[in-house]
Amino acid sequence: MSAATVSSAPKARGRWSRQAKHEALSGWAFSLPFFICFCLVFAAPIISAIYSSFFQEKAAGGGLFGGGEKTSVFVGLENYIVAGTDPAFWAGVGRVMLFGIVQIPVMIVIALVLALVLDSFLVRRRAGWRLSFFLPYAIPGLIAAIIWGYLYVPEVSPIAANLPELGGNPFFMAPQVVLWSMANMTTWTYTGYNMLIFLAALQAIPSDLYEAARIDGASGWKITTRIKIPLVSSAALLAVLLSIVGTIQLFNEPTVMQKLTGWMPNTYTPMMMSYNTMMGQLTPSGTGPASAISVLMALIAGVLAVLYFVAQRKVNK
């Protein structure tokens, strides 16, 4: 571009703007597929969900069966008030929070350790290990939950059969334990995935840093704690944020466990509550109330993500 601007200024300006226009146009054209997809699969459902969260299906007529017709009624913020004042909703939020506070650090630490070990010269056949750690993530979440379910049911499990019952429930399915039974499932599934994030960040560290450290006489342990771990902190941010979001959306595991235990309510996690509201298993039911729960949870997830982001930046400074 510098070559073009060297020649006489006014002439260049006219040519330049034509070229810029052309460039801008083709730029937009190139990004068009993205914007179309973005609007179709991302923006449109969100807008539709937010819109429908202000409506409720109500009986149109009178009588015992409401005249056999339903109409969509604008109810303002009522769906949000119903969800926001429902203790079952907040109990569900509390459960996923507790889950996240315990499970996320455990999983992130294991993932980091695995990544550091794979990145060091301690292991041979790195690709094989990497694949085997990552493999659980490739198994569909529901299938994984069912596999773990079989390990939790005393009648078919080699482990659970030897554990005591708690309050009339099998050990892994008791109210005190079930949250951690699910935490175990998600840790198993996502540790390899997070490890991969860390590994990618580790391998992006230029090797001259290590060489310089070695010349300065740093040991392998020092290199790990002083160079590797600080330099993957932004990868940790990504991993933790993704985990927070995953925790908020906890659905497969509790749904499978509900089937196995029988005592878990339809509101055990907020996403289960939203789904069951949609399916008419909870009232008020329908798209409106279900969307309101989802939008609330999206907001909570957003707030948590921003809080974590800010906190981490403060710590880094």
Partner 1 sequence: MSVSFKTPLKVTALLSVAALGLTACGGTTTPSATESATAGSTATSASAPAEKVEIAYMHRLPDGEGMTKVADIVAKWNAENPNIQVTATKFDGKAQEMITKLETDVKANNAPCLAQLGYGEVPEMFVKGLVEDVTTEADKYKDQFGGAFGQMTVGGTTVGLPQDSGPLIYMYNEAEFEKLGLEVPTTAEELEAVAAKAAAGGKYAAVFTPDEAQNWLAGQAAGAGANWFSSENDQWKVDTTDAGTTAVATMWQNMLDAKSALVVNRWSEQWDAAILDGSIIGHVAAAWETGFALDTLDGTAFEGQWRVAQLPAINGSAMTGPDGGSGVAVMKGCEHPAEAMAFNAWFNTQVDDLASQGLVPAATAAATTPEKMSRQFGGQDVMAELVTANENTNAVNYIPGFSAVGPKMNEAAAAAGSGTGKVADVFTAAQDASIAALQDAGLPVAN
Render the burial of 7-20: b for 16+ CB within 10 Å, e for the rest: eeeeeeeeeeeeee
Q: How far apart are CA 317 and CA 313, in angstroms?
A: 6
Rank residues 70 and 129 by Cβ distance to partner 1 and give the closer one. Answer: 70
Q: How far apart are CA 161 and CA 155, in angstroms?
A: 7
Q: Comparing C-alpha atoms, which of 270, 231, 264 is closest to residue 249?
A: 270
Rank residues 16 and 265 by Cβ distance to partner 1 and give the closer one. Answer: 265
Eight-state DSSP code of residue 165: P
Rank residues 3 and 64 by Cβ distance to partner 1 and give the closer one. Answer: 64
Q: What is the largest CA-CA distance in the chain?
A: 89
CB of 85 to partner 1, least distance (A): 14
19 sits in which H/E element = helix 9-38
Q: How far apart are CA 45 and CA 39, in angstroms?
A: 9
Helix (H, G, I), strand (E, B) or coil at 158: coil
CB of 35 to partner 1, least distance (A): 15
CB of 9 to partner 1, least distance (A): 34
CB of 64 to partner 1, least distance (A): 5
Rank residues 19 and 234 by Cβ distance to partner 1 and give the closer one. Answer: 234
Count of beta carbons in the 10 Å neighbourhood of residue 232: 24
Rank residues 177 and 241 by Cβ distance to partner 1 and give the closer one. Answer: 241
What is the DSSP annotation of 85-149?
A: T-HHHHHHHHHHHHHHHHHHHHHHHHHHHHHHHHHSSS-S-HHHHHHHHHHHHHS-HHHHHHHHH
Rank residues 12 and 242 by Cβ distance to partner 1 and give the closer one. Answer: 242
CB of 175 to partner 1, least distance (A): 9
Q: How far apart are CA 245 and CA 169, in angstroms?
A: 30
Cβ pair 86, 169 in contact under 8 A: no
CB of 28 to partner 1, least distance (A): 20
CB of 135 to partner 1, least distance (A): 22
CB of 232 to partner 1, least distance (A): 9
Rank residues 12 and 50 by Cβ distance to partner 1 and give the closer one. Answer: 50
Rank residues 114 and 235 by Cβ distance to partner 1 and give the closer one. Answer: 235
